[in-house]
Structure 1
Amino acid sequence: MIGQAFTKFLKFRPHRTIKIDKDDKIRIYQKICQLSQPTFSFYLMVVLSTIIASFGLLAGSTAVVIGAMLVAPLMGPIFGIGLGLSNGDRRLIKNSVFSELAGIIMAITIAVLIGLIPIRLGLGPEILSRTQPTIYDIIIALFSGFAGAYALVDEKIGSALPGVAIATALVPPLASCGICLALQQWSLAGGAFLLFFVNLLAIELAASTVYWFYGLIELPANVTSIGAFFRRFWLSLTILIFVAVFMTTSLQQIAANRALSESLKKIITEQVAANTGARVSDIRYQYSGKNLQVMAEVLTPQEIDSKQVAQIEKSLQNIVNNDIQLIVRSLISRDSDNSGYVFITENEKARRFEQNKQNLFLSNVSSVLKQGLTNYPGSSLVDIQNAIENGINNLNTVIRTPSAITPEQVAILQANLTANLNVPIHLTVRSIITRDVDATRYLYDEKAANIQLSGDKLFFHTQLEKTLKEELKTSEPAVNLLEFNYAPQNDIFLVIAKIRTPVVFGPEQVSQVEKGLQNRIDPRIKLIIRSVLGADSTSDWYLGEYDDALLDTVSN
C-alpha cells in the first residue's frame, strides 16, 4: 500500500499554466548539456571565480564573495549529473562528472596557491563560517536546487539563476578548503569541503525531482517510478541522509556551545560588574576530560583577587557546570576624562587622598629640615620615612654630615618642625658620616675652619708634615701619611697621625718616629699613630706612595 501510494505520488504531475511540449523538452535538455560541457569558457570562469572568492574570503569582504558566486559555473554540471542519472544518459553523466571534478580540482589548487602567499590576513569570519556546515546548509541547498532547476525549465524566470547561485555558494567553500589546506588547518579544510559536497548532493537530488515532476525523464513501460527513483539515486540519498544526521548533531553541538558561551559571559559579566570600572574583555573555554576550564580576561582598574575568583567560580558551578575551573586574567586599565581617573571606588579614592596628603606632609617636612640643616655646614637630607602612632608623626630621617648630629641639635630640628607644621612630631636622625675635602683641607671641619694658617703657623705646619713623612719613610718605606692633627696640651705637644702601611706600626716604630720629631721639631712632641693596613706593591717591592686612583688610571 505504501509503495503504491508513493508510486502514485511520484507519477503525479502538478497543474501548470504553461505546458512543456516536446520542443521545450529538447531545448531544456540541450541547455543543460551545454552547461555541463568541459569547455575553455567553463575552466576560465572557474579560475576567475576562485581567485575572486579567495581574495574576498581573505579580505573578509562579503560583497566580493557574492561576486564570485555570480560568475561561478559549477552548478551547471550538477544539473547535468541529475538529469543524466535520471535518464541514464551515460554521455551526459560522463561530461558532467568530468567538468565538475576538473572544476573542483582547479578551484582547490588555485585557492591553495593563494593561501601560500606570504602576505595574508589569516582565517577571518567569512572563511570560518564555511568550515562548520549544519542541517541548515542542506535545507538551503535543496531549495536552491529546486529553484535553479525550475528556472531552467521555465524561461520566464530564468533571471532567478544568479540568485540561486548566491544562495547555494559552491566556489566559496572550495576556496575556503584550499586556503585552510595551505595553512595546514586540516579539520577546517575538511569541513569546508563537506559543505560543498552536501550542496552538490542536495542540488542534484532537488534538480532530479524537478525534472521528474515536469516530465523530462522517460521511463520504460515495465519500470515503476519508485523503482527507478531508488535504483538511480539510492547512493545520493543514503549519503545525504547520513550527512544530514551528522550535521544535525553538529548543529546541536554548535547550539549547545553557543548557549554555554552566553551563560558563561552573562554570569561572569554580572559578577565582575561588582568591581567599579571592570568589564569582561574575552572568555575562552575548553574541556579537559570532565572538567571545563574557563579563561576570562577582564579589563579592570584593580586586580581581581582570589576571593572574588572563587566567588565567581562557585556561581558558575551552581548554575552551569559543577566541574568548572575558572581562571581570571586581570588586565589593569585606567579610564580618564578631563577631570582625572574615572571608575575609582570610594576606598581607592580615600586611599589616594591619604597618600596625597602624606606626600604633601613629607614635602613640607623636607623643606623645613633642609632649612634647619643650613645651620650645620656639610649636612644634607637623604631620606624621610613617617609612621603615625597614637596621633604622633614618627619621622625617621637619614642625614649625611661631617659629624654626628647631637641630641641637642635633633631637639632644635624637632621643635622647628612642630612649630612650622602644627602637628605632634617625634624626630629620629640617623647620621651618615661623610668628609668632603679639597686640595688644602677638609671642608666643613669645625677645627680646620677655625684655624686659618698663615705666616709662622703655616711654616710650622709644613715643616711638621715634611718631617713626619721623612721619619715614617725611614721606619717603613711603603708607609703613606693620610692625615694628621696636632695641638699643645699642658706640658706636651700632641701629634696624631693616620697612616696607611703594609704592616702595623708598633710601639718601637712609633718611638723611633717620635724621637725624630722631638730632635727636629719640638722636644715636647708626643706621637700617636693609627695604622690602616694597605699598600701598592710590585714583584720587586712596595711602591713609595699609595694612590687610591692608581687602578682607575691604569684601566683608563
Structure 2
Amino acid sequence: MNSNGAAGAPVSPDLSAERSNLDVPLLALWSVSPERKAQVIDDTTSGSIPSPLYYVLLLASGGIAAFGLLANSAAVVIGAMLVSPLMAPIFGIALALSRGDLHLLRNALVAEFGGVLLIIAFALLLGLLPFALEVTPEMLARTKPSLLDVFVAALAGLAGGLAMVDERTSPALPGVAIATSLTPPLATSGLSLAFGAFDGAWGAFLLFFANFLTILAVSAAIFILAGFVTRAEIGTRTDLLKRFSATGIGLLAVATILTRQLIVTIDDWRLNQAIVTTIEHAIADNPGARLARVIYDQDADGSVNVLATVTTPRSFTPQKVEAMQHAIADSVNRPISLFVRCAITHDVAAAGSANLLPTVNLNGDFIAASVTPNVRLTEAAEQTLRELVSRRQNFELLDVQLVHLPIGPLIVATVSGARPPVPSQVKLAQERIRQRAGDETATLLVRATTTSDVTAKGRVLLGDAQFSPMTAADRTLQEKVETRGKTALEQVQNTFVDSIDAAKHGDKWEVRAEVVSARVLQPAEVGRVAKELTALAGAAVTLSVLTPNGLIVEAKGFTTVQRSVEEALARELAARDLSERVDQSK
C-alpha cells in the first residue's frame, strides 16, 4: 500500500532549486569574482550619493573648466575632467536600471542632475564677471556636437565600464574621464548663457546629454554581460524594456539630432575647403601672398559672405577679387560675396625679397613650401635686381611684377633714382635674370621714376661732396673751389649755375656743375675754368658741366649722361672679367 500510495502521490516542485536559478547571473561572459562584484556595487552606490563632498568637487571641477575655457587652455580643461565626479552617478544609474534598484536610482539621478544644474549655474555666474571678455576656440569646440561625439562616448563608456568591473584595468579610469568630457560642455553651456548665446548653450548641453546617455547605455550592457545582474533582478523582458525605454528613446532622439548636425558639419567643412582651396589657387602666382584666415556666414537664401585675410606685399585689384569670387561661386554652386582684407607684409632676406612661404615640419625644421613657376621667376628677378641695385647706390627698387605676354614672360621692375637706367644696365640685369631663372624668354622692362635729392646747399650732384667726412682744411678748400667754379662759369654770357659740388678723391678733385645757358658751353670754356680751379686747389681738378638736356661738357669734349654711364659700366665689366681670368689662371 505504501508503495502504491507513494507511486500515486503527486510530485511537488522544488522551490529551493527555482530560487537558486533566479539568483544566477543572467550572463557572465567573463569571470568576475564575487568579492570584486560586491566591491564594485559598493563603490558605485557610495559614489552616487549626493553628499556635500560630492558637490564641493563638482564646484571645483566646474570652476576649473570655466577658467580653462575662458583662458583657452586645453591643459586646464583636462584638469577639470580629472577632478569631476560626474561619471560615478552615471554608473549608478546604469546599475540601478539593470537591477531594478529604485533607491540607488533615486540617489544617482539626484546626484547627476543636481550636479548638472550646479555646474551650469556656477559657470553662468563666472561668465557674468568682468574678466569673462571673449569667446575662445575651446568654448566654440563644444557648441557644435555631432554623431562622432556619440561614437567617442560609446568607446569611453566601454573603457570606463571595463575599468570599473575589472580591477586590472582600473588605472585606465583617468583616461576615460578625459575622453568622456562631461564637465566642460556643462561649463560651456553656463558661459554661453552668460554671453547670451542660447544656441551655443543648447549645443553644449546636447553634447553632455549625448555623452550621458551613451555612457549609460554602454555601462548598463557591461554590468549585465559581466554578471552583475541576476535573473530575479532583471525581471521579465517587458520589465527590462520599461526601465530602459526612456534611455533608448533619448539616445535615439539625440542620435537623430546629432546626425543632422554631422551632415551640416560635413557640408560646412566641404564649403570651407572649397573656399580655401579656390583662394589659395587664385593667389598662388602672387609672390609673397598667402591666405591667413577665412571666415564666412550663410544667409537664409543660401548665399555666402566670405571675408578672407591675405598677407601680401601689395593689395589686390578689384578685378582680382572679382575673379576669385566667381571662381568660388562656380566651385560651391552658390552665390558668393567675397571681401579680401590685404595685410601688407614683405619677406626680406640678405639677397633681397624672399617669398619662401616657410612652414615647419614634424621635426620642427623650417622648410620652404613649393611655389609656382611664376612665383619662382618673380623671386629670381627680384633677388637679382636687388643684388645689382645694392652694388650701385644710384637706384632704389620699388616693385617687381610679372606679366605674361604672347612673346613670353615680361618682368616689370619699378625703380627710382636721379636718372633712368641706361639700356646697357637693363641688358645686364636681363641676362642675369635669365641665367638665374633658367628662362631665356624672360624680358625685363624697367619703369623708372626720376627723383631729385636737394639739400640746403642745392641739388646733390656728388654724394661725397656733401656727405663724406673731410678735414677742416679740405672743407675750406672745397668751399673756395665751388665758389670760384660758379663765378667762372657764370662769366660766360647768359649762363647760370644752379648747383655745384666739389669732392676730393685721393690727391685729386672732382667738380660737377649743373648749368642753364642760352647756348651750349664749349669744351675750351670748361677747360679754362678747370685750369683756374687746378691752380686754386694746388691739385688736379676734373670739371664736368651738366645741361638740362642730358649733355655733359668736359675739357676733352662732349658726351651724354647715357654714354658716360655705359662707358663706366663697360670699364667695370671689363675689369671684373680680367679679375676672373686672373683668378682662374691661378
TM-score normalised by the chain length of structure 1: 0.61
1:99 aligns with 2:111: yes
Aligned to 1:412: 517
Cα deviation code 1:208-265 (max 9, x no counterpart)? 111222332345599533x233211112111111211221221222122122212211
1:262 to 273, 283, 299: 273
Aligned-pair CA distance for 1:416:
7.5
Aligned-pair CA distance for 1:140:
1.8
Aligned-pair CA distance for 1:36:
0.4
Larger radius of gyration: 1
Match runs of 1:176-325 below 5 Å: 176-220=188-232, 223-225=235-237, 227-288=238-299, 289-325=301-337
Cα deviation code 1:523-544 (max 9, x no counterpart)? xxxxxxxxxxxxxxxxxxxxxx
- When the two structures are aligned, how many residues end up with a matched partner? 383
CA distance in 2, matches of 1:346, 1:129: 42
Change (3 A) 1:149 1:420: same
Cα deviation code 1:340-375 (max 9, x no counterpart)? 555642479632246874544685996499979999
CA distance in 2, matches of 1:61, 1:268: 31
CA distance in 1, matches of 2:309, 2:44: 56
CA contact (8 A) 1:77 1:100 kept: yes
Cα deviation code 1:397-416 (max 9, x no counterpart)? xxxxxxxxxxxxx9737858
Query: What SS does structure 2 have at the residue aligned with 1:132?
Result: coil
CA distance in 1, matches of 2:454, 2:234: 110
1:135 to 127, 147, 169: 147
Aligned to 1:4: none
Unaligned ranges ≥5, structure 1: 1-10, 382-409, 427-556
Unaligned ranges ≥5, structure 2: 1-24, 356-398, 403-410, 421-448, 462-482, 499-514, 524-543, 552-586
Aligned-pair CA distance for 1:304:
0.9
The code of the aligned residue for 1:241 comes to L
CA distance in 2, matches of 1:190, 1:168: 18
Aligned-pair CA distance for 1:37:
0.5
CA distance in 1, matches of 2:349, 2:232: 84
Aligned to 1:505: none
CA contact (8 A) 1:32 1:80 kept: yes
1:351 to 414, 427, 433: 414
CA contact (8 A) 2:98 2:234 kept: no
Aligned-pair CA distance for 1:12:
7.0
1:158 aligns with 2:170: yes
The code of the aligned residue for 1:345 comes to V
Aligned-pair CA distance for 1:74:
0.9
- Superposed CA RMSD in Å reads 3.7
Aligned-pair CA distance for 1:320:
2.6
The code of the aligned residue for 1:80 comes to G
CA distance in 2, matches of 1:222, 1:110: 39
Match runs of 1:320-399 below 5 Å: 320-338=332-350, 344-346=399-401, 350-353=413-416, 357=420, 358-360=449-451, 367=459
CA contact (8 A) 1:58 1:120 kept: yes
1:421 aligns with 2:560: no
CA contact (8 A) 1:59 1:121 kept: no
1:13 aligns with 2:13: no
CA contact (8 A) 2:311 2:342 kept: yes
Aligned to 2:67: 55
Cα deviation code 1:178-203 (max 9, x no counterpart)? 22222222211211111111111111
Query: What SS does structure 2 have at the residue aligned with 1:130?
Result: coil
CA contact (8 A) 2:161 2:219 kept: yes
The code of the aligned residue for 2:27 comes to R
2:88 to 76, 88, 101: 76
CA contact (8 A) 2:312 2:344 kept: yes
Cα deviation code 1:105-146 (max 9, x no counterpart)? 221122222222322463222222111111121122222223
Aligned-pair CA distance for 1:24:
4.6
CA contact (8 A) 2:99 2:234 kept: no
The code of the aligned residue for 1:314 comes to H
The code of the aligned residue for 2:249 comes to T
Pick which of 150-159 and 160-169 moved more. Answer: 150-159
CA distance in 2, matches of 1:15, 1:84: 20
Aligned-pair CA distance for 1:168:
0.7
Aligned-pair CA distance for 1:158:
2.4
CA contact (8 A) 1:177 1:188 kept: yes
Query: What SS does structure 2 have at the residue aligned with 1:351?
Result: strand
Aligned-pair CA distance for 1:425:
7.6
CA distance in 2, matches of 1:209, 1:318: 50
Aligned to 2:136: 124
Aligned-pair CA distance for 1:331:
2.9
Cα deviation code 1:437-461 (max 9, x no counterpart)? xxxxxxxxxxxxxxxxxxxxxxxxx
The code of the aligned residue for 1:144 comes to A
Match runs of 1:540-555 below 5 Å: none
Query: What SS does structure 1 have at the residue aligned with 2:306?
Result: strand
Match runs of 1:106-117 below 5 Å: 106-117=118-129
Aligned-pair CA distance for 1:380:
13
The code of the aligned residue for 1:229 comes to L
Query: What SS does structure 2 have at the residue aligned with 1:316?
Result: helix
Pick which of 286-295 and 87-96 moved more. Answer: 286-295
CA distance in 2, matches of 1:178, 1:110: 7
CA distance in 1, matches of 2:291, 2:304: 19
CA distance in 1, matches of 2:209, 2:157: 14
CA contact (8 A) 1:20 1:214 kept: no
Query: What SS does structure 2 have at the residue aligned with 1:327?
Result: strand
